[in-house]
Amino acid sequence: MDAKTSAHYRSVFRPDLFAGQRIWVTGGGSGIGRCVAHELASLGAEVVISGRSADKLERVAAEIAEDGGRCQWRAFDIRDEEAVKANVAAVLKEIGPVHGLVNNAGGQFPAPMMMISKRGFEAVVANNLTGGFLMMRELFTQCMQGNGGGAIVNMTADFRNGMPGMAHSGAARAGMSNLTMSAAFEWAHAHVRVNAVSPGWVASSGMDSYGPAIQPLIKQLKNHVPLRRLATEAEISAAIVFLLSPAAAFISGVTLQIDGAASLGNPMYPSIDHAGSSAFEGFHRATSPEVLK
């Protein structure tokens, strides 16, 4: 739907759920990160969004302000250890303790494994694993361990059956899931919970970043999902918000699969075709990827 200034995020959670809290969303300038930032702001959180593109971040911060929320942004590369340290320190000095982190930033490119160079492999691992580790570590050491704890939600992907065509991303995402478990155990004493989400195919702006050779395949993805549709950004955001919330106070170290059962089944029992299940769309500013129009 088109954005309307009179509309507001239609979250299933109560409006003041995160009142008085500050939550950081990496990769908040577009896609799922943008959606999560909007939902958290609508629930009373003061949101910090970060990424590499100042223009995108500034635009999202302006949207949130227009909707009545509070948001500030920081442009830096999470793969740069010194930049992560400096920006975390600066945010903590400016606004105080951060209570939650959504480690959403990442990215990859499709390629058969035999064609992936060492440089390309390491770049994807840095984007989807190392950078997230740095954000977790710095917010824990600089803030959460001494300020009553917090909650972290990491972004992975549907790697349950491997990721042919994106082996570098699959390796990094599986690593993030394992890192989530380790952090959940090591940091529990400081009252820090760490979980992850594992989305399948999501109708998000990231789909438009793939080239012409991949776009025809994207249009057919829903046929491989038993629910016969792609996820909305709001459906991923709702799961993330739940894991950040007090309702998940005894949940730590899990990776939540959100793929419409696409990773299940086998050729001996194909899924039954149907018109598609109904979707939850709470994000009032959501737009469909051009490739799906």
pLDDT, tens digit, for every residue of 207-227?
877 778 778 888 888 999 999
Query: Collapsing DSSP states into helix, strand and coil, what is residue 280?
Result: coil
Per the rule left: phi > 0, alpha: psi between -120 and 50, beta: everything else, 224 is alpha
Q: How far apart are CA 42 and CA 19, in angstroms?
A: 10
* Residue boundaries of the structural domains of the chain: 22-259
**192 - beta bridge partners?**
150
Q: How far apart are CA 119 and CA 125, in angstroms?
A: 10
Query: Collapsing DSSP states into helix, strand and coil, what is residue 104?
Result: coil
Task: Burial-class residue 151 by CB neighbours within 10 Å (0-12, 13-18, 19+).
Answer: buried
pLDDT value at residue 37: 98
User: How many residues are recorded in the chain?
Assistant: 293
- For residue 174, give the amino acid letter: A
According to CATH, the topology of domain 22-259 is Rossmann fold (3.40.50)
The pTM of the full predicted model, rounded to 2 decimals, is 0.93
Nearest to 194, CA basis, from 208, 179, 182, 180:
180
pLDDT value at residue 6: 52
Q: How far apart are CA 287 and CA 282, in angstroms?
A: 12
R_g (Cα) of the chain, nearest Å? 18
Nearest to 45, CA basis, from 244, 196, 233:
244
Q: How many CA atoms lie within 13 A of 121 on its CB side?
A: 10
pLDDT value at residue 128: 96
Six-digit token string for 264 = 């299940």
Task: Answer for the pair 6, 291: CB distance below 8 angstroms, yes or no.
Answer: no
Flag residues of the chain having pLDDT under 50.
1-5
**Helical segments of the chain, H only:** 31-42, 54-66, 81-95, 118-125, 131-142, 167-186, 215-219, 233-244
DSSP one-letter code for 59: H
